[in-house]
Amino acid sequence: MVGIVVVSHSERAAEGIAEVAAEMAGDTRIEPVGGDGKGGIGTVPDAIEDAIDAAAGGSGDGADGSDSDADGVVVLVDLGSAVMNADVAVELSGAEAVIADAPVLEGAVNAAVAATDPSATVESVREQAEAARDIEKL
Amino acid sequence: MSDDGAATGDDRTTDDGAAVVAAAEAVAERIEAERDHLTQLDSAIGDADHGGNMARGWAAAADAARDLDDPDAETVAKTVGKTLMAEVGGASGPLFGGSLVFAAGELDEGVTPETAVAFAETYLEKVEDRGDARVGDQTMVDALTPAVHTFKKSIEVDDLPPIEALAKAVDAAERGVAFTVPIRARKGRASYLGWRSVGHQDPGATSALFILEELLDVAADRLGVDVPETDASSPTIPDEDPDEAAGDSPEAASEDD
């Protein structure tokens, strides 16, 4: 099963987006993460790494997510330094994780739907998340 | 930089680790002293938090480095990088800290001229990739690129003593910082200002210069020498064959000494 991580500068935004995506997600693990760790706006690579490990189904007790039953993790991010911090976290984590170049909310919903497919892979979920760039609203 | 040939084995490892701790402490002190200056630069083109963020992060990084028990250079560099990532915030955390965590691996055999060049190149590459920035974007890459190129060339082609190579690199970084003033920002928050970013010195490039200046001071101090008076221009003969100079023939370059 492919896991999903939602990264935002705001912890509450990350939680809210994960909540919306979870409506469509079945049993998929969706881990929200955000905030500077001190109640403010920002992101912290270590916290994102923990979220990736948790979404991978690992114990999250370090860099090694290899004991997981997951088929990898797709990471959705909001803006700027959150992208860089997610990039660092992907490097640090032992789990197979990729960042989707997609709008964070629409991408998370698309990814959640794609992840429920029994044959879903990291690549298929990322592709669907990135397809959210073309969603027209009006 | 401890390139004292007499030191071997564990002494050498411990020496190098202690040198990197001393460097982190010196940088923390310098950034704290420049806090207002950096914030002032950032308030012109950004969100006026660079000085405070960097000062807080480097203070925590120096503390973390000091708390390590007899560490080697790689461990100190990794610890400093991880602490910066967690404490600096914004884009400077992953750029200054994340790149350090990554490049620290080049110091697994201690600090030598060769590992220092590899470290510098890897660090610059990581900053460029992570920030998707190149020379001329008005970022820290504008300070680091001339510094890293000059350092590498001074070591590998000109065969200069490491402390002189580092002094040249600092001068190169200073020229790079000056270059950020008359150009337009294409990355980072300053890029939102478009043409209004022209005429402003980049705070990240300025911090990178301060860090390099402290590395030079600490290296000179630990070697027990004065900081060499030099500049970034090359001592090699101008009309020599560049292909030859770039090869492994430092003899060819040292005739101009």
pLDDT (0 to 100) of residue B181: 97
Here the CATH number for the domain that contains residue B38 is 1.25.40.340
pLDDT digits (tens, 9 = 90+) for B10-45: 566 779 999 999 999 999 999 999 999 999 999 999
Inter-chain CB proximity B98 and A46 less than 8 Å: no
Q: Is residue B253 part of a domain?
A: no
- Write out the residue range of the structural domain in which residue B147 sits: 10-229
Using CB atoms and an 8 Å cut-off, which of residues 74-103 of chain B contact chain A? 82, 85-86, 89-91, 93-95, 98, 101-102
The CA-CA-CA angle for residues B170, B173, B176, to 5°, reads 160
Contact between chains at B89 and A46 (C-beta distance less than 8 A): no
Task: Between B79 and B235, name the one with better pLDDT.
Answer: B79
Provide the shortest C-alpha distance from residue B195 to chain A (in Å).
21
For residue A81, which of A50, A41, A52 has the smallest C-alpha distance? A41
CA A100 to CA B239: how far, in whole Å?
A: 51
Proportion of chain A above pLDDT 90, given as a percent: 79
Numbered residues of chain A with Cβ closer than 8 Å to any chain B Cβ? 36-37, 42, 44-46, 80-81, 84-85, 87-88, 91-92
- Contact list in A for residue B89 (CB cut-off 8 A) is 36, 42, 81
Distance from CA of A88 to the nearest CA of B (A): 6
More confident residue, A63 or B53: B53
pLDDT in tens, B98-113: 999 999 999 999 999 9
Give the other-Cβ count within 10 Å of A121's Cβ.
Answer: 15
Contacts of B95 in chain A (CB under 8 A): 84
Span A66-86, pLDDT tens digits:
444 668 999 999 988 899 999
Interface touch B130/A46, C-beta < 8 Å: no
pLDDT band at residue A30 using 50, 70 and 90 as cut-offs: very high
Q: Cβ of A44 and B86 within 8 Å?
A: yes
B131/A84 Cβ within 8 A: yes
pLDDT band of A60, cuts 50, 70, 90: very low
Q: In chain B, what percentage of residues exceed pLDDT 90? A: 81
B245 in a domain, yes or no? no
Query: What does the alpha-carbon distance between residue A34 and residue A45 come to, in Å, rounded to a whole number?
Result: 10
**Å between A99 CA and nearest CA of chain B:** 13
Pairing of strands A73-77, A30-34: unpaired
- Which pLDDT score, from 0 to 100, does residue B248 have? 53
Q: Average pLDDT in the A41-55 region?
A: 94
- pTM for the full model? 0.83
Q: How many residues can be counted in chain A?
A: 138
Nearest CA in chain B to A44: B86
Structure-model confidence comparison of residues A60 and B83, the more confident one = B83
pLDDT band at residue B239 under the 50/70/90 scheme: low
Min CA distance, B103 vs chain A (Å)? 13
User: Which of A37-46, B24-33, B52-61 has the least mean pLDDT?
Assistant: A37-46
Per-residue model confidence (pLDDT) at position B116 = 98
In a domain, B121, yes or no: yes
Look at B94 and A88 and tell me if their CB atoms are within 8 Å.
yes
Give the whole-angstrom CA distance, residue B81 versus residue B103: 9
Give the residue from chain A lying closest to B91, CA to CA: A81
Domain count, chain B: 1
Structure tokens at A100: 């989707």
Cβ-defined contact of A45 to B102 (cutoff 8 Å): no
| Catalytically annotated residues of A | 9
Among the residue ranges A7-16, A53-62, A107-116, B132-141, the one predicted with the least confidence is A53-62
Domain ranges, ordered by start, for chain A: 3-134
Q: Which of residues 21-60 of B touch A (CB under 8 A)?
A: none
**Residue in B89, B95, B131 nearest the CB of A42:** B89
**DSSP letters along chain A, please?**
--EEEEEESSHHHHHHHHHHHHTT-TT--EEEEES-SSSSS---HHHHHHHHHHHTTS--SSS--TT---S-EEEEE-SHHHHHHHHHHHHH-SS-EEE--S-HHHHHHHHHHHHTSTT--HHHHHHHHHHGGG----
State the CATH class of domain A3-134.
alpha beta
